Amino acid sequence: MNHPNYYRIQGRPAIFIWAETVFVNREGTYKEIRGLVENYTGTPPFIIADLLPRIYRNWILPTNPNFQGWKNWAVGRDRADEYIDAYTGWIGFFGVHNSSWSIPLSKTEFQRDFLKLYTEHLMAWKEYSESNGKCFIPTVSPGFIKTWEDGFIKYPIERDVKRFESIVNIAMQNLGSCGELRIDTWNDFYEATFIEPSIKEGFQYLEELLEILTS
């Protein structure tokens, strides 16, 4: 983290915590992480937490009566939130696996209405995050499927460069106060979320990003 090329946000070494709600002792974990980084670098880390729910759980929005239950489980069970600087999600907020929770959307509805749901999701969570003193960091992804097995992903979305262009533009309109955008992922070919150049697709996802980010 002391290396000059280590990624920093607001001058602080950035750490992304994936699936952070699985921590048994969130408060103690974050406190220890902060202390270790500050001891070695002289600067507290900028901690980004994968905390926000997927789009298919769209009833867990701040405007929904079920929100308080989610907040008590994800945020309010300890004081870990004091150490978190930014809220984000994972894989463009796509739906992931078969859940025992009651899901109000069919796969067809989710895929058909994804851009609308994505926009509503980002707007709601940006407002919630920023109003609670946390930077909102939107996440984008080219798609989400399993390339060698079936059954795990309940709401798969095939890779599509034009849809990727649309979601990046939507995300850019909903950047939080720290101005960050997360791309999931660089090279996860197994789940087909990669933007790394490939023999089949060439550089088209990087070229799309370049066009959007420099226009």
Structural domain includes residue 2: no
Evaluate whether residue 3 is within a structural domain. no
By residue range, what is the domain housing residue 14? 8-214
For residue 136, the domain's CATH number is: 3.20.20.80
In a domain, residue 1? The reply is no
Task: Count up the domains in the chain and report the number.
Answer: 1
Q: Is residue 101 part of a domain?
A: yes
Would residue 83 count as lying in a domain? yes
Are 138 and 169 in contact by the 8 Å Cβ rule? The answer is: no
Q: Is 11 left (phi over 0), alpha (psi -120 to 50) or beta?
A: left
Task: Write out the chain's pLDDT in tens, 215 residues.
Answer: 999 999 999 999 999 999 887 888 899 999 999 999 999 999 999 999 999 988 866 567 888 877 888 888 888 888 999 999 999 999 999 876 555 455 667 788 888 889 998 999 999 999 999 999 999 999 999 999 887 776 667 778 899 999 999 999 999 999 999 999 999 999 999 999 999 999 999 999 999 999 999 98
Q: What is the pTM of this model?
A: 0.92
Buried/exposed code over 6-38 (b: 16+ C-beta within 10 A; e: otherwise): eeebeebbbbbbeebeeeeebeeebeebbeebe
